[in-house]
A = this chain, B = another copy of it.
């Protein structure tokens, strides 16, 4: 049996990004040669306290280092590149760093981030551009420009031995982008003429009706605010939304305002993008925070991070008086130029209230179109399906409900049910010219959590403990037992945090100590051999029940029994 027969299909294995937003990473495999597309992380869920990021599980690649051809990156957002520092070393060999391909800006962002991981070897990344073609094993990859909300975003046209795959990257269509050329529909049509066997397309906004807003509309609305703002303008957005950042800088220049860039990520991103030519601004536009007071309020824009209410970001620090030079004042106009990420609504509302209390006026995306997402909405997605006219379709990038909505759009466009595949992380998708299907077997694709320096060492046990500790705190009982007499020496020590305010709970503590002594001495007083682990269990259970009966709370009870 030849290998050809053993594996007649192309295999597509999404390790992240399907059924979730973020952590994008997909494998293309042909006869044991593997091409990796993107390597991103995602933010943790609310029930994962202390976790920094979640990255893909690459267990499947463990013994296949030699078979990996390389990594192609679509764009520089962390949900597409953020896992590189954690994963790249694990799949490189000492002699060979995996070949990596990225556009200049994407490369710049990857390398910039790498500086935080100074222990790691310096990366070599090959630059690719709109129109670049590379050969990686059996795959020919042609990169093509796609508009998104960060410059230098590339879609992938991949020739495989079985047919052509089109991977859209994150994208939206825009006839009027900022500092960029409009979507090149002619180019997309030209590509489609080469026949698309499989289209893999961005589903993030598949549940949204209509078209995404053009950046031109956003600009016009932002200008309206610039025209009427009587004092300073404080604009908050993501540092990674480089198109929005450019827009605000350009409008500031147009209206004769200086721009104070605030926040580490905002400053470094803008600096690098300017260096690479992706942000255009006059040198004299920028001023420092400490010099803001030297300019008339009506000539100032403060552009920073923090539109999500992030604790450490600029806008929060300005709002709660934690910034060295800047604070909100009457007459300020605060622009929230980003949508609120699900889960952040409460924090953003509280911050907005606080800003208004201090007398500033607020504009946010629900009041006025001053933010557009970077993702195609349903009408654009249908347009993409129409242009590419693929034989098979597989929605990518998004929560399960978004993938399903996207698959519905394909069916509306006349695609047959059997040619549309809603897959999930860990599925092994088999593709040939006749059909697309999911293998029975799955590869591991669970969350791998990053917490500080730990990669994957925080698992369900640790998380469950954190959740328990958060709910009702903990209660350590230290009891010293005289080995000879079986009597408790002195009074048991109690250390508790997050449970009750100890100073006001003296009676509860006294009763608890009494009970602990009782539990221990009943167990040691039998005359037989002392079962120390039984004593610990008894303390844990009985004291737990006792505390619950008194408080209706369940702190984690941890007994320490010391024999002397």
Contact = CB atoms under 8 A, between A and B. Distances in A.
Interface of A: 19, 45-46, 49-50, 207, 342-343, 345-347, 349-350, 352-354, 356-357, 362, 366-367, 399-401, 404, 451-454, 457-459, 461-463, 465-474, 476, 478, 480, 493, 495, 497-501, 504-505, 550-553, 556, 558, 560, 562, 564
Given A46-B46, A452-B551, A476 B349 contact: no
Given A346-B46, A404-B356, A469-B469, A500 B560 contact: no
A472 B342 contact: no
Given A346-B342, A480-B562, A550-B453, A401 B362 contact: yes
Interface of A is mostly: mixed
A335 to B, nearest CB: 15
Given A480-B564, A558-B495, A474 B474 contact: yes
A500 B474 CA distance: 17
Given A452-B552, A453-B552, A346 B343 contact: yes
Contacts of A558: 476, 495, 497
Given A467-B470, A478-B560, A349 B401 contact: yes
A50 B471 contact: yes
B462 A498 contact: yes
Given A470-B469, A562-B478, A399 B349 contact: yes
A23 to B, nearest CB: 15
Nearest to A474: B474
Contact of A466 (B367, B400, B454, B470): B470
Contacts of A362: 401
A142 B238 CA distance: 52
Given A342-B346, A401-B353, A453-B551, A497 B474 contact: yes
Nearest to A345: B342
B469 A551 contact: no
Copies of this chain:
2
Contacts of A474: 469, 474, 497
A499 B462 CA distance: 7
Chain B CB within 10 Å, residue with most, of A46, A353, A354: A353
A393 to B, nearest CB: 18
Contacts of A552: 451-454
12 contacts: A50-B470, A352-B400, A354-B400, A357-B400, A453-B551, A458-B501, A462-B500, A463-B498, A466-B471, A476-B495, A478-B562, A497-B556
Contact of A470 (B49, B346, B399, B553): B49
Contact of A465 (B367, B461, B497, B504): B497
A530 to B, nearest CB: 18
Contacts of A345: 342-343, 345
A471 B367 CA distance: 35
A484 to B, nearest CB: 13
